[in-house]
Chains A and B, each alone.
Chain A
């Protein structure tokens, strides 16, 4: 009996202590952490992922009351997880997102796009550099930089000059390089043709704008104002056949993936490489990187003057709050505090240096003098060239898959331009 009473007394004492301790915690106002659930983009081996980890680490040390609870994924895994999380109702507060068909549709469908305009400090961000993303001018995410140019031609200047050529002014100039390059076992233009998206984003997006003379031909076609079976598009697809016949692009390109393309160019196996602006920072051979000229495609046969010298460009992706994050004041404030660090001048400079962005969207940003030549060239290209639609920013799903695979079929001689155009049109209007 005595033993039972003693145990009961100890239990009561413990309960009282716990209750007292709780009361003390509340009175002293021990800070409760605000958790910002985040979907971040990158992996442990690329600058995006490495920089993310570094930024979160020092941000959390400086802001112990904020917990950036993130999931870091890259490429296909990221897109798959976005769909899965949204479908499961596990909506993050903050996520890497865009405003187009590839990066924005899942968020739009789930009703999770949130307008950032009222919360963007006009003294910090240069709002004139952030494009409208929604039908009423909404801004769904804070882009990492200005427009994302996808159809850049990278020229190895030294190698090209060693063949007695200079920067091409017309497509014919490039075709004239083919016999000499081939004799030396080199490609004229290297492209990661094994990746279907590269044909659409990095080549055809530029070609269709040039040949149609309409910078927004693709978006208009998706809306139904044009057909993919129209002559302009069929001619653009047929231009791929011409490039293969002229030896400007080799049919074996359809077996070259992203890494091999970059390696071919870095190791001087090609005079030119076609890719997006983001690859500039990944050219590892310094001799090649320092002697690379970034340019728009030269004048193409049959191109219209209205779009001469243009490049395809999409709204740059970046981090944005979801409706779930934006509707909670504590989370919203914490997320914006983090974004202020993430988009700081120092981090933006690093992003520029890594070659991840074209130009910053920050006010009073001064580009350091010691920036690599490629970075400076990007800014010039962004400022001088007309921007046109990127295909997969408007076309998604089965029609886009058919177009990407179709261009690979054309290059490998398995289909004609007319057949692929008809297939895309049919799938789009289904």
Chain B
């Protein structure tokens, strides 16, 4: 009996070992390395010498106004994702699921279409749309009758996240729509029929039947949205030009990049960059834990 258990255990380890090794080297090692790096002054370009500096990088970061600016923008991106992409994606999926529009397949393809494009292509496209005398500016000029009118929201710190938020919704809503649609199709239609027989209106079916049934999917989507929002770099980077626009729209990953890869004056820039990365992970985990907690409270342990 013991011999058989050992054999089973060895087989088990044989199966998980390759994955475990890859995970340890590719995922776990960089996390621990980054944590270590952030409490040192190590700069690989200056040889192997390093000193333990405690939480110096974190103190510097918390005193840096660029950090708070980037964090604020990141929170806006999270809000746009959680309260914009997910509800819109859910609503669109519901419309398609309940066949409330004709040519559902066409709309489904169109909404999901941005996912087939490279993020850099999408970012460049939006940049072109927003440039001086570009299509959006021309539209404003026609509507306002002012031939010199420009679309200048990207130039101002307090308005730059509107066009970026719009682009984010345009790009990612399709993903959530597909996730919700796939899960809606798994719902037992008898429950909806039963609700109808009981006299439930469309709104009541949605809020009293569909939403509770998909609460798990909503939570998973929120987790994806939060994690994606905090590590988001490519779309905002490619939508903005170097200088004022990018500074206005700077989020934590871009702040990390600018610090670690461009600020040659800062000898501890790699360690500082690692501290910023670690904070992104911490905030991400905290927000996901919070969303799960809220989700559990709202669901009240109800299972379907």
Contacts and interface: CB of A to CB of B under 8 A. Distances in A.
Interface of A: 76, 79-80, 83-84, 86-89, 101, 105-106, 109-111, 185, 194-197, 199, 252-257, 260, 396-399, 401, 404-405, 408-409, 412, 414
Q: Sorted from nearest, which 3 A-B pairs have the closest CB atoms? A: A196-B243, A255-B132, A408-B244
B265 A398 contact: yes
Given A255-B132, A257-B131, A87 B45 contact: yes
Contacts of A254: 155, 244
A397 B45 CA distance: 17
B131 A79 contact: no
B241 A401 contact: no
Contact of B152 (A79, A101, A255, A399): A255
B132 A397 contact: no
A87 B155 contact: no
A255 B261 contact: no
B46 interface: yes
Contact of B243 (A84, A87, A260, A404): A404
Contact of A196 (B150, B154, B241): B241
Given A87-B45, A105-B264, A196-B244, A253 B155 contact: no
B261 A83 contact: yes
Given A109-B45, A109-B46, A412-B152, A256 B131 contact: yes
A414 B155 contact: yes
Q: Which of B46, B243, B266 has the most CB of A within 10 A?
A: B243
Contacts of B270: 87
Given A76-B242, A89-B44, 14 more contacts: A106-B45, A109-B46, A194-B132, A194-B241, A195-B241, A195-B243, A252-B132, A252-B150, A255-B152, A257-B131, A401-B258, A401-B262, A405-B244, A412-B152
Contacts of A80: 257, 261
B109 interface: no
B261 A414 contact: no
A109 B244 contact: no
Given A195-B241, A252-B133, A255-B155, A109 B264 contact: yes
B7 interface: no
B181 interface: no
B127 interface: yes
A327 B152 CA distance: 53
Contacts of A76: 242
B217 interface: no
Interface string B145-178: 0011011101110000000000000000000000
B242 A195 contact: yes
Interface in B253-290: 257-258, 260-266, 270
Contacts of A196: 241-244
A247 B73 CA distance: 34
Contact of A194 (B45, B137, B243): B243
30 contacts: A79-B261, A79-B262, A86-B45, A87-B270, A88-B44, A105-B264, A109-B43, A109-B45, A111-B45, A194-B131, A194-B132, A194-B243, A195-B242, A197-B242, A252-B132, A252-B148, A254-B155, A255-B132, A255-B150, A255-B151, A256-B132, A396-B262, A397-B264, A398-B66, A398-B263, A399-B265, A404-B242, A404-B243, A404-B244, A405-B243
A230 to B, nearest CB: 21
